[in-house]
Amino acid sequence: MKNKNSDLFFKNIRKDFPILDQKINGHQLIYSDNGATTQKPIKVIDSICDFYKNDNSNVHRGIHTLSERATDMYENVRIKVANFINSNKEEIVFTYGTTSSFNILAKGIEDQISEGDEIVLSQMEHHANIVCWQELAKKRGAILKFIPINKDFRLDLKEAEKIITQKTKIVAISHISNVLGTITPAKKICSIAHKYGAYFVLDCAQSIVHMKVDVKEIDCDFIAFSSHKMFGPTGVGVLYGKSNLLEKLKPSIFGGDMIYEVSFTCSTYNKSPYKFEAGTPNIEGVIGFGAAIDYLNEIGMDNIELREKELCEYFLGKVSEVKDLKIYGPNSCNDRSCIFSFNIDGIHSHDMSTLLDMKGIAIRGGHHCAMPLHTLLELPSTSRISLCFYNTFEEIDKIVLALKNAKKDYEKGEFLLK
Ligand code: PLP
């Protein structure tokens, strides 16, 4: 199909995702938990099976044909990832996911941080971009500061200008909040960080699948993201770092493949990115990740952005008809994505998840690994609907209808039978 931004194109695309074609509790599945993980197109699934059927071997260590082939395939994905974010292949470290990328970064940067140095995060961060910095701060006597959010659920830029100072060594924020859906002004905050010589780190776990991320355009020093949130397999992620900065970073996982030379007394390390990739990596995962990137490129990130903006506008319009429902996040689709956290008065998010699951609708309830943000908003938890391009307007209608009936269904107590 030529017109890759038509509704029909995106409806047809659902055929690429076999898992979507099933009933849950007697209803057609509506998968709207894409912020947690996305479903996998058949091309990704096949690429992993094909690798095991035809090419399976270890990488970087064999001289035989299969090993060379597997190495080529693995390294080729590094180039695909680099092109996808407009970087060089030497700047792509394969990790096990965003969390592992942050841990490698925070550990590797440790000896560049001294007592009294400041690390600036925001109030809307995922635990993956909080806890590793807390550990680093504890070890080195550094101080954590947080850019506040304003009443519209956006980052307060004026406060950011005050909080980031000469003392700041690292500014690490999410590109899209996994709770609020807010798209943060990454380029602006990056330029403030750089004004003071601080590193700018961007958590792209949520943004990488919804918008074009160009590390050069933003001028990021480091970014992190996971394959499983962009239609690829679990257990694979990326730490991007500017070449000269990766060289300065210390490895924290030691063993085979990350070394240059080893004696009984000491070792020297391989160059970046290999010095961060000790041991046998998740080879089939990386191969599947490459297929996911091909898949996204075939559709086009521009088309995905357009489609999701339409879904976002449609959802916000429709959901405003639901009584007693409050959305926590910006009300304009210009700087938000299709991640909608909400509560309906009187219904706990876990009950809401169960109520919707009974109608075949998969959503998430809880604190979404952002406890500090929930504490700040004085909310024990929220329900979260996170859409992506394979969701449809008809699905949104069904979700909104289920939300409209939620109170009635809740009072009937039917969900307790589950
Ligand atoms: N950062 C954000 C914004 C996220 O949404 C997530 C996962 O939900 C992570 C980091 C952690 O990703 P992973 O669990 O794949 O390591």
Confidence of residue 141 (pLDDT cuts 50, 70, 90): very high
Confidence of residue 219 (pLDDT cuts 50, 70, 90): very high
Contacts of 93 (CB under 8 A, 6+ apart): 101, 104, 238, 239, 240, 241, 246, 272, 273, 276, 277
Instruction: Check pocket membership of 206 for ligand 1, CB cut-off 6 A.
Output: yes
Nearest to 271 by CA among 84, 76, 73, 89: 89
Q: Which one-letter DSSP state was computed for residue 182?
A: B
Checking if the pLDDT of 2 tops 60, the result is: no
Atom of ligand 1 nearest to the CA of 97: 16
Query: Is the Cβ atom of 174 under 6 angstroms away from ligand 1?
Result: yes
| Residue with CA nearest ligand 1 atom 4 | 205
Determine if ligand 1 sits within 6 Å of the CB of residue 103. no
Helical H runs in 240-282? Answer: 243-248
Which of 178, 207, 289 has most ligand 1 atoms within 8 Å of CB, for mutation? Answer: 178
CB atoms closer than 10 angstroms to residue 372: 15
Residue 412 pLDDT class (50, 70, 90 cuts): confident
CB atoms within 10 A of CB 65: 10
Give yes or no for residue 302 having a pLDDT over 80. Answer: yes
Q: Which of 57, 53, 78 is nearest to 69 (CA)?
A: 57
Residue 203 Cβ contacting ligand 1 at under 6 Å: yes
Q: Is the CB of 99 under 6 A from ligand 1?
A: yes
364 Cα: distance to centroid of ligand 1 (angstroms): 14
Crossing angle for the helix pair 349-357 and 393-404, nearest 10 degrees? 120
List phi, psi (to 5°) of 92.
Answer: -105, 115
Between 123-127, 334-338, 388-392, 408-412, the lowest mean confidence (pLDDT) is in 408-412
Token pair for 58 = 């270890």
216 falls in which pLDDT band (50, 70, 90)? very high
Distance of CA 180 to the CA centre of its chain: 14
Q: Count of CB atoms within 10 A of residue 161's CB?
A: 14
What span, in angstroms and rounded, lies between the C-alpha atoms of 159 and 150? 10
Rounded mean pLDDT, 104-125: 98
pLDDT per position as a tens digit, 61-92:
778 999 999 999 999 999 999 999 999 999 99
Task: Examine the residue annotation and report whether 220 is marked as an active-site residue of this protein.
Answer: no
The pLDDT score that the predictor gives to residue 413 is 81
pTM: 0.97
Rounded Cα distance, 395 and 118, in Å:
45
Q: Going by CA atoms, what residue is nearest to atom 12 of ligand 1?
A: 98
Ligand 1: distance of its center to the CA of 278 in Å? 22
User: How distant is the alpha carbon of residue 116 from its chain centre?
Assistant: 31
3 state SS of 317: helix
Average pLDDT over residues 31-41: 98
Confidence of residue 414 (pLDDT cuts 50, 70, 90): low
Mean pLDDT, residues 114-140 = 98
Q: Is the pLDDT of residue 44 over 80?
A: yes
Mean pLDDT of 231-238: 98
- What whole-number percentage of the chain has pLDDT above 70? 98
d(CA 89, CA 272): 10
Mean pLDDT of 243-269: 96
Average pLDDT over residues 103-116: 98
Scan for tokens 């074609």, then name that residue: 21
Give pLDDT, residue 62.
78
List the domains of the chain with CATH numbers.
4-31+300-417 (3.90.1150.10), 45-297 (3.40.640.10)
| 168, 119 Cβ separation under 8 angstroms | yes
Centroid of ligand 1 to alpha carbon of 248 (angstroms): 25
DSSP state of 335: G
Index of the ligand 1 atom closest to the CA of residue 101: 16
Cα-to-centroid distance, 221 and ligand 1 (Å):
19
Would you tell me how many other CB atoms lie within 10 Å of the CB of residue 61?
Answer: 11
Ligand 1 atom 5, closest CA: 178
Whether the pLDDT of residue 400 is over 70: the answer is yes
Question: Catalytic one among 132, 204, 312, 369?
Answer: 369
Confidence category of residue 415, pLDDT binned at 50, 70, 90:
low
pLDDT digits (tens, 9 = 90+) for 172-211: 999 999 999 999 999 999 999 999 999 999 999 999 999 9
Calculate the average pLDDT of the chain: 96
Is the distance from CB of 289 to CB of 297 less than 8 angstroms? no
